[in-house]
Amino acid sequence: MGKIAFVFPGQGSQAAGMGKEMYESHEQAQKIFDEADKKLGLPLTQLIFNGPQEELTKTTNAQPALLTVSTAILEVLKDAGISPDFTAGHSLGEYSALVASGALSYSDAVYAVRKRGEFMEEAVPNGQGSMAAVLGMDREKLASVTETVTSEGHSVQLANINCPGQIVISGTAEGVLKAGELAKEQGAKRVIPLEVSGPFHSELMQPAADRFKEILENIHISEADVPVISNVTSKPMTSPDEIKGRLIEQLYSPVLWEDSVRTMLASGVDTFIEIGPGKVLSGLIKKIDRQAKVYAISDSETLGKTLEALRGNTE
């Protein structure tokens, strides 16, 4: 059997009720939820389990909520004796990956992502920035589209390079609109506006990055026990200084998800376990490499099936 990577979803995977069954079935999961409420001084668990969805989807809530659910599931998986050779997460998911790798304590991570969400929401007034998914266009061609629109005085750039033929662009509302129109003229199959509160992973997030730097200055980052694949470089990182720097850059840099998955494949990973709600990353990984074994764990049932499959593979 090849190597195993734990991967963690980012914003957009949140759904009211996520993690509830894990909380009710596993003491280790319960402790994580309880710690979230205590650390943040607010009833986050209540919001995660009961919604309303609109409130849960706000960036300031969605980020600590997803981290909490992913970490709760991770704790149960660790107790089952499964450990990774690499970890990675999509945008916000990188914080869950850092917890899984031992570089961040859960308590520090949940505080940090709550602040990260606040700063991201405050960086650009609502409605001024946007993001859109561009389907059916390669990276170089789309990069040249965004450069053309930027040269005309609008801000737009590649934000998430998810898998072949699926790239998200981010910037001012005007810039994203113009880039989307130009991309369609040049052969993109579809352009889908995303329901987000701001232009994440674009240079417009620089003010959030500047404020977030101060938060990270006061948080202890350890040497990672397991390499974490950085969103910014798509390369493994373990040193505290590099991790800190990349987390700040990550706010205004593109998420190189496709490249990150290829790095892990090239390093001998053949099994990916998505830990958290939904199956967004599982779908992307399959589009990058059909041969990869991909599992998604969101509750006790999917945990049981995954453990059974993994044990079957090793025997």
Tell me the one-letter amino acid at 104. Answer: L
pLDDT at 39 over 60: yes
Q: Residue 223: what pLDDT?
A: 98
pLDDT at 1 over 80: no
Is residue 199 in some structural domain?
no
In 3D space, the residue among 71, 266, 296, 161 whose CA is nearest the CA of residue 170 turns out to be 161
| One domain for residues 185 and 84 | no
pLDDT at 315 over 60: no
Q: Indicate which residues carry an active-site annotation.
A: 91, 201
Average pLDDT over every residue of 88-111: 98
| One domain for residues 187 and 216 | no
Q: Residue 125: what pLDDT?
A: 87
Is residue 21 in some structural domain?
yes
Is residue 118 in some structural domain?
yes
Is residue 298 in some structural domain?
yes
| One domain for residues 108 and 14 | yes
Q: Residue 9: what pLDDT?
A: 98
Q: Residue 314: what pLDDT?
A: 56
| One domain for residues 36 and 88 | yes
| One domain for residues 310 and 230 | yes
- CA neighbours within 13 Å on the CB side: how many for 127? 0
| One domain for residues 18 and 167 | no
Is residue 308 in some structural domain?
yes
The token pair that represents 30 in the structure block: 């319960």
| CATH (domain of 159) | 3.30.70.250
* Domain's final residue, options 162, 193, 224: 193
Q: Residue 126: what pLDDT?
A: 82
| One domain for residues 229 and 172 | no
| One domain for residues 111 and 221 | yes
| One domain for residues 177 and 231 | no
Q: How far apart are CA 29 and CA 8, in angstroms?
A: 16
Beta bridge partners of 296: 274
Q: How far apart are the first and last CA of the chain?
A: 10
Is residue 63 in some structural domain?
yes
The token pair that represents 224 in the structure block: 């990672």
Contacts of 2 (CB under 8 A, 6+ apart): 268, 269, 270, 271
Considering only residues 244 and 315, tell me which one the structure prediction assigns the higher pLDDT.
244
| One domain for residues 294 and 220 | yes
* Domain's final residue, options 160, 193, 226: 193
Q: How far apart are CA 84 and CA 227, in angstroms?
A: 9
| CATH (domain of 209) | 3.40.366.10
Average pLDDT over every residue of 165-174: 97
| One domain for residues 240 and 112 | yes
**Residue 263 burial by CB count (10 A; 0-12/13-18/19+): exposed, middle or buried?**
buried
Is residue 261 in some structural domain?
yes
Q: How far apart are CA 30 and CA 20, in angstroms?
A: 9
Domain that holds residue 18: 3-123+204-314
Tens digit of each residue's pLDDT (9 = 90 or more) over 102-161: 999 999 999 999 999 999 999 998 889 999 999 999 999 999 999 999 999 999 999 999
* Domain's final residue, options 193, 225, 244: 193
Tens digit of each residue's pLDDT (9 = 90 or more) over 176-228: 999 999 999 999 999 999 988 889 999 999 999 999 999 999 999 999 999 99
Domains in the chain: how many in total? 2
Is residue 198 in some structural domain?
no
Q: Tell me the pLDDT of the chain averaged across its residues.
A: 96
Q: Residue 106: what pLDDT?
A: 98
| One domain for residues 26 and 115 | yes
Q: What is the pTM of this model?
A: 0.96
